[in-house]
């Protein structure tokens, strides 16, 4: 039951955080803070750093994640023999862009018009790259966790996932196509979606495969 409690806490924190950020955005109470953070991050601009940030923004696209997903699905099916885990992975990764689209259409926030290093259309809030990165790397870490035998290996999985999520989100601010609040909201939106899917998955296992669920808690 420990995992279920952690999931409920994660869901509530993510949902409350997203509601709080969205309220600040709709009320225009966070624009100045967004501007300060953008100015600070873009003050580090150099040619090599721009190339690095463009790289991270590319690997945060839906198209790139879809390609990576082919390898992940092969690994889950052929190597780990976990057909059930394919469903949770697909529910998280491929439903996230749809959730992001709905949220963007609801909030209709324009992208920042300060110093853009790349051009892109569409609405800004919440960041699709941030949502995609959080969903992909967090669910991947969750699925790999039990198969890593050592504490050091598990720490490495968490650190790598955290680094990729942070780097992809930061790249969107650096390149001038998202406000920091867009990125934070994207993480929070994916947070409550990921925890919801994992909770449903966990409850299903507890009902139909109690021994397996008990081993994971």
Structural element, H or E, at residue 176: none
Q: What's CA 91's distance to the chain center, in Å?
A: 14
Residue 163 pLDDT greater than 80, yes or no: yes
Q: Say what the pTM is.
A: 0.88
Compute the CA torsion angle 48, 54, 59, 60 (nearest 10 deg).
130
Task: Read off the pLDDT of each residue in 67-75 and give the average, rounded to a whole number.
Answer: 86
Residue 8 pLDDT greater than 90, yes or no: no
**Dihedral (CA of 119, 59, 34, 45) sign:** negative
Q: Which is nearest to 187 in space by CA: 125, 144, 141, 140?
A: 125
Check: CB of residue 137 under 8 Å from CB of residue 164. yes
**Dihedral (CA of 150, 151, 153, 157) sign:** positive
Alpha-carbon distances, residue 203 vs 7, 18, 40, 79, 217 (angstroms): 11, 25, 44, 25, 12
Check: CB of residue 185 under 8 Å from CB of residue 127. yes
Number of other CB atoms surrounding residue 86 within 10 Å: 15
Model confidence at 57, in pLDDT bands (50, 70, 90)? very high
What pLDDT does 146 receive?
73
């Amino acid at each position: 039951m420990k995992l279920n409690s952690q999931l409920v806490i994660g869901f509530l924190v993510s949902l409350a955080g997203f509601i709080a950020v969205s309220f600040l955005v709709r009320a225009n109470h966070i624009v100045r803070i967004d501007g300060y953070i953008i100015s600070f991050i873009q003050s580090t601009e150099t040619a090599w750093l721009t190339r690095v940030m463009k790289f991270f923004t590319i690997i945060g696209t839906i198209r790139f994640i879809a390609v990576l997903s082919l390898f992940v699905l092969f690994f889950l099916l052929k190597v780990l023999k976990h057909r059930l885990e394919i469903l949770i992975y697909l529910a998280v990764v491929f439903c996230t862009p749809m959730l992001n689209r709905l949220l963007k259409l609801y909030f209709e926030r324009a992208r920042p018009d300060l110093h853009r290093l790349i051009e892109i259309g569409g609405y800004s809030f919440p960041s699709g790259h941030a949502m995609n990165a959080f969903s992909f790397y967090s669910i991947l870490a969750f699925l790999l966790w039990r198969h890593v035998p050592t504490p050091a290996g598990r720490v490495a999985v968490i650190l790598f996932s955290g680094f990729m999520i942070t780097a992809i989100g930061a790249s969107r601010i650096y390149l001038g196509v998202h406000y920091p609040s867009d990125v934070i909201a994207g993480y929070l939106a994916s947070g409550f979606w990921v925890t919801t899917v994992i909770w449903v998955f966990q409850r299903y296992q507890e009902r139909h495969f109690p021994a397996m669920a008990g081993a994971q808690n």
